[in-house]
Structure 1
Amino acid sequence: MTVAAIVPERLAAADPAARRLLAQTGAVVLTGLPAHPDSLAVAAATLFGTGLRELYPHRTRRSVDGGAVGLHADSFDIVVDLAGAETRRRHPNEDHVLVMLARQAPSGGESFALDAHAFTDSLPADLRAFLRGVDLDLYGRWAGTRGLPATPRVGRLVEYTRLGRRITRRTDGAVPLHRDPHAARTTTALARLDEEVTGAQAALPRFVLGEGDILVLDNYRSWHGRDPHSGERVAHIQTLRTENA
């Protein structure tokens, strides 16, 4: 197993090198914008320009004495009825995520990130075959959540877009398909993957976000999380899709 850590470089939000660095490394920290949710949209437009296709509603996460948030990729599948029209509020193939730290906790809350492509490529051969070859109900563990479509979202943890871009997913909502004849084997593989991820997470270097910093991640490539913290911590989060999603 390779612990392919990402420690993102800090750049001014208007620096033209930010887009190139994000593409090369999978993550970048943008600085210099007001510590307000509107800055997420400004950062997205500055980074992706005319390549920006869809912004999803920003969400604010407040936690007090919060526990650890393990390595994950941001994605969900939520469609709501808005005045009689189906409206998508989250997308299973959000290809980038922006996380702004609005209020730093008094202690703890350090961030970490992982190059998921490199990490999963280093796993044992049978686990790699599982990631690429087994269909899962990606959000089945959350069945019944309001807004989640009744039709299961079926996919694999490693897939490729129509244009060949790789997606390496990480969601704790994944379960075997309904009546999967190999459900026990699938459940065992998911548990083994969790063990591997937990081991990698413990070995990752931590980095600290300042208030107003925006962590931008390639959501197809990079998994991220944070350590436990004491006191109150506030973050604003926005996911999006670009023309390459």
Structure 2
Amino acid sequence: MNTPAQSARPQEDPARGPGVTPARVPQERVRRARDLLARDGAVILTGHENTSDALVVAAAQVVGDHLRELYPHRVRTSRDGAPVHLHADGFDIRVDIGGVPHRRRHPDEDHVLLQCARPAPEGGASFALDAYAFVDGLAASDPVLHDFLTGTDVDLYGAWAGLRGLPATPRVARHVEYTRTGRRIVRRTDGAVALHRDPAAEHIGRQLDRLRETVHSAEAALPRFGLDEGDILVLDNYRCWHGRDAHQGERTVRILTLRASDAR
């Protein structure tokens, strides 16, 4: 079953490249927000209160009764922050609360909501990339990297194996996969490494380095957009990677991730 945000296949415009500039939509125009999220992979909701509760309300508005699972809010404050490179959210963290196991993050979170609680006084512009268009373009411009992303298993979080809460069992996946309902996933994480004793480990390491370099080099040409206080950026996390520029002063955002009914 498709979510409202995925009711139609996204129409990619080759002329504009992979950069995404999310449209700004008043929070009461729910249908319009859903349509734009399906078309572009990202939309900015305006008019919400600057509170954590607003993220839950926005998730219900955009995903509706297809919501399957919400994960705990995260608050991120950075002071004189360095750039954040393009990435897709998703992590595998499990904790024990009073003897009961709880999942705090999931590798297949398919939506991300990011609210600007305090904009930076200088810098900190956001940018986003349509990873579907990016990967499709590699088929012609860099077929070796394209074949790696679509055909090679990696350990998604092996670089962080010592982190408490991260399961010891490797999370094996490809960068590009599909869910059972046909949604394409394009992952972007700096935690990926070759599987233990993979005979192609050297090649995999080179391709992971090339992916990072290619993604970083694409960032400069992407269109920038700003988030005002209270604005909520909603992303199709299977399709859009996001990042931000360096900033001066203090900046705070709230983040909510979730899985909808057709997520993996």
* Equivalent in the alignment of 2:8: none
Q: Map of 1:29-178 to 2, 5 A cutoff?
A: 29-123=44-138, 124-178=142-196
Among 25, 28, 37, the residue aligned to 1:22: 37
Shift of 1:64: 0.3
Instruction: Report the TM-score, using the length of structure 2 for normalisation.
Output: 0.91
Offset at residue 3 of structure 1 (A):
4.2
State percent identity of aligned pairs: 62
Q: After TM superposition, what 4+ stretches of structure 1 lie above 6 angstroms from structure 2?
A: none
| Consecutive unaligned residues in structure 1, runs of 5 or more | none
Tell whether 2:25 aligns with 1:7.
no
Which residue does the alignment assign to 2:202? Answer: 184
Post-superposition CA distance 1:28-55 (Å, at most 9, x none):
0001110111110000011111111111
71-80 vs 120-129, which moves further: 120-129
The code of the aligned residue for 1:84 comes to G
Work out whether residues 18 and 47 of structure 1, in 8 Å CA contact, stay in contact via their aligned partners in 2. yes
| TM-score (norm. length: structure 1) | 0.98
Structure 2 unaligned segments of length 5 or more: list them: 1-13
Query: What's the offset of the Cα at 1:14?
Result: 2.0
The secondary structure found in structure 2 opposite 1:200 is: helix
Q: Would the aligned equivalents of 1:32 and 1:213 in 2 still touch at CA under 8 Å?
A: yes
Q: Which piece of structure 1 moves more, 191-200 or 59-68?
A: 191-200
What code does the residue aligned with 1:139 have?
A: Y
Q: Which residue of 2 aligns with 1:233?
A: 251
Count of equivalent residues: 245
What is the letter of the counterpart of residue 180 of structure 1? D
Partner of 2:4: none
Q: Contact 1:72/1:171 (CA < 8 Å) preserved in 2?
A: yes
Which residue type is aligned with residue 104 of structure 1?
A: P
Q: Which residue of 1 aligns with 2:5?
A: none
Distance 1:7 1:238 in 2: 21
Task: State the SS of the aligned residue for 1:76.
Answer: coil
Displacement of 1:196 in angstroms is 1.1
> Cα deviation per residue 1:63-96 (whole Å; 9 max; x = unaligned)?
0000000000000001111222211110000000
* Alpha-carbon separation, structure 2, partners of 1:194 and 1:60: 26
Contact (CA 8 Å) 1:3, 1:200: kept in 2 or not? no
Q: CA RMSD in A?
A: 1.2
Is this contact kept in 2: 1:3–1:203, CA < 8 A?
A: no
